[in-house]
Copies of this chain bind each other. A is one copy, B any other.
Amino acid sequence: MRQAEADLVRALPLFENVSEKHFDELMSTAFLQRFPQGVTLIREGDLPDFLHIVVEGSVELFATHDAHETALDILEPVTTFILAAVIRDEVYLKSARTLTPAQILMIPAAAVRAVFDRDAAFARALVNELAMRYRCVVRSLKNEKLRNSTERLANWILQEDAHQGGKGQIALTIDKRTLASRLGMTPENLSRNLAQLAKHGVVTSGPQFIISDVAALREFAKPNSLIDQ
């Protein structure tokens, strides 16, 4: 790994308070790799060799069973994944693929477990990260079970707008079929749901969503701090 990249990694919250010695130990065997879009990074059922960290791009976590597949999460920088499998040294429960070209930091699982035992700051950071990931899953489980697909879309629009600066105007950076999968619905259903939201203050034209009536949209979406972000 080059120095510029090592500096980038060093600044991550996960390594913030780790001693220089232990950080070097982790990095000496780690590598930062670029992947094109659509590459399967890990496969459910395999044993973890590396802790993965999304440094750039986005990664989809998904699972399959009986010829069906479901998206479980979409990760953006900077997020670890498969941390739980690495800690317990048990098989992955999910698969992962790149949704865009991506840069992934890979740290050997054995090194992670070794440094965890000797560096309290790293242990603290890891457990914090894991707790955060846990809470994310709980939030998305609640989102899935307590809202219908139109409500999930409405809340996504509110969040995405906030994320893009709250201008009440969203430019889609991904195509709609990807958005549909991220929201746990089919592309057909996304179309219908967007049509529904016309009644609740959202005007769409192609990849431009305009919130024409925020109050109406919030009224419909019922955002909830115990579910959203």
Contact = CB atoms under 8 A, between A and B. Distances in A.
Interface stretch (A33-41, A61-69, A203-211): A61-69
A78 B59 CA distance: 35
Nearest to A121: B117
The interface residues of chain A, by DSSP majority, are classed as helix
Given A70-B145, A131-B87, A226-B44, A138 B65 contact: no
Given A65-B224, A117-B120, A134 B130 contact: yes
A214 interface: no
Interface in A68-99: 68, 70, 72, 83-85, 87-88, 90-91, 93-94
A22 interface: no
A29 to B, nearest CB: 21
In the complex, the count of this chain's copies comes to: 2
Given A130-B131, A141-B141, A226-B44, A146 B68 contact: yes
A65 B139 CA distance: 12
Nearest to A72: B141
Contacts of A218: none
Contacts of A84: 130-132, 134-135, 138
Could you say which interface size class chain A belongs to?
A: 35 or more
A123 B70 CA distance: 33
Nearest to A64: B146
Contacts of A45: 226
Nearest to A90: B135
Interface string A111-124: 00000110010011
A42 interface: no
Contacts of A91: 226
Contacts of A85: 131, 135
Nearest to A94: B138
A142 interface: yes
Contacts of A182: none
Contacts of A117: 120, 124
27 contacts: A63-B226, A65-B146, A65-B224, A70-B145, A72-B138, A72-B142, A83-B131, A84-B132, A84-B134, A85-B135, A87-B127, A87-B131, A88-B128, A88-B131, A90-B135, A93-B139, A93-B142, A93-B226, A94-B138, A117-B120, A123-B127, A127-B127, A127-B130, A134-B137, A137-B137, A137-B138, A144-B144
